[in-house]
Chains A and B, each alone.
Chain A
Amino acid sequence: MIVAFQRPGNCSAALIGLVLAFGFTADVCRGQEPAPEYAVKAAFIYNFTQFITWPADAFTSADAPFIVAIVGNDPFKGAMDRAMEGKSAGGRPITVKHFASADQIGPCHLLFVPAEMDDSLSQIMDKTHNHPVLTVGESDRFSPAGGGMRFYIEDGKVRFEIDPDVIDAARLKVSAKLMKLARIWKR
Chain B
Amino acid sequence: MASNRAVAFVAASFLTTLCLGAITDAQSAATQPSAPSADLTSLSLEDLMNVQVTSVSLHAQKLSEAPAAITVIRPDDIRDSGLNSIPELLRLAPGMDVQQVNANRWAITSRGFNGLFADDLLVLMDGRSVYTLVFGGVRWNAIDYPLADLDRIEVIRGPGATVWGSNAVNGVVNITTKSADQTQGLLVDSQLSTEQAEQSVRYGGKIDDNTYYRVYSKVGYADSGKNTDNTPSHDEWSSYQGGFRIDRFASPKDTLTLQGDAHYQQLDDVTNVLVTADPRSDDENGENILGRWTHTDSDRASTTLQAYYDRNQAGDFPANTQEDSFDIDFQNRLPLGENQELTWGLGARDTELLYGEFFPNEFTPSHWSDYLYSGFVQDQITLLPNTLQWYLGTKLEYTRLTKFEVQPGTRLLWTPDDRNSVWAAVSRSLRQPSLFQDTTLDIGGFDSTHGDVSSEQLISYELGYKVQPSKTFTVDWTGFYNSYRDLISYTPLLTPNFIPYGVSYNNDLSAHTYGTEISANWQATDAWRLAASYSYLRVVTSRQGLLGPMVPQAQISYSEGSTPRNQFQLHSYLEITKNLGFNASAYYEDALPTINLPPQDSQKVPSFVRADANVVWRPGDHMTATTGVRNLLQNRHSESGNFNSLVQNSQAERRYFVECELSY
Contacts from A to B (Cβ < 8 Å): 1-2, 5, 8, 11-12, 15-16, 18-19, 22-37, 39-40, 42-44, 46-47, 51, 79, 82-83, 85, 87, 153, 155-159, 177-181, 184-186
Contacts and interface: CB of A to CB of B under 8 A. Distances in A.
Given A29-B29, A43-B41, A35 B35 contact: yes
A2 B222 CA distance: 10
A22 B21 contact: yes
28 contacts: A8-B656, A12-B194, A12-B627, A23-B22, A24-B619, A25-B25, A25-B26, A26-B21, A26-B22, A26-B620, A33-B35, A35-B40, A37-B53, A47-B45, A51-B45, A153-B55, A153-B58, A155-B74, A155-B75, A155-B76, A156-B76, A157-B53, A158-B49, A158-B51, A177-B45, A181-B46, A185-B299, A186-B297
B361 interface: no
Contacts of B48: 40, 43-44, 47, 158
Contacts of A47: 41, 45, 48
Task: Identify the interface centre among B46, B51, B252, B660: most chain A CB within 10 Å of its CB.
Answer: B51
Given A5-B223, A12-B194, 8 more contacts: A5-B194, A5-B195, A22-B21, A29-B26, A34-B51, A83-B40, A180-B252, A186-B300
A19 B660 contact: yes
Contacts of B25: 25-26, 29-30
Contacts of A15: 192, 658
Bin chain B's interface residue count. Answer: 35 or more
A110 B186 CA distance: 38
Contacts of B50: 157
A2 B627 contact: no
Nearest first, the 8 A-B pairs at minimum CB distance are A186-B298, A39-B37, A43-B40, A8-B194, A27-B619, A26-B25, A29-B26, A22-B22
A180 B250 CA distance: 11
B299 A32 contact: no
Nearest to A41: B53
Contact of A33 (B40, B579, B617): B579
Contacts of B330: none
A172 to B, nearest CB: 17
Interface string B488-505: 000000000000000000
A85 B644 CA distance: 70
Interface in B602-638: 617, 619-623, 625, 627
Contacts, number: 164
Contacts of B276: none
B15 A18 contact: yes
B230 interface: no
Contact of B55 (A37, A51, A178): A37
B364 interface: no
A30 B29 CA distance: 5
B38 interface: yes
A187 to B, nearest CB: 8
Contacts of B7: 2
B55 A159 contact: no
A34 B578 contact: yes
Nearest to A82: B38
For B7, B29, B252, B619, the residue with the greatest tally of chain A CB atoms inside 10 Å of its CB is B619
B12 interface: no
B384 interface: no
Contacts of A51: 45
Given A19-B18, A22-B18, A184 B623 contact: no
Interface string B231-272: 000000000000000000100100000000000000000000
A40 B249 CA distance: 26
Most chain A beta carbons < 10 A, residue from B7, B37, B50, B300: B37
Contact of B619 (A23, A184, A185): A23
A1 B32 CA distance: 45
Given A16-B627, A159-B49, A79 B41 contact: no
Given A23-B623, A40-B40, A79-B37, A16 B658 contact: yes
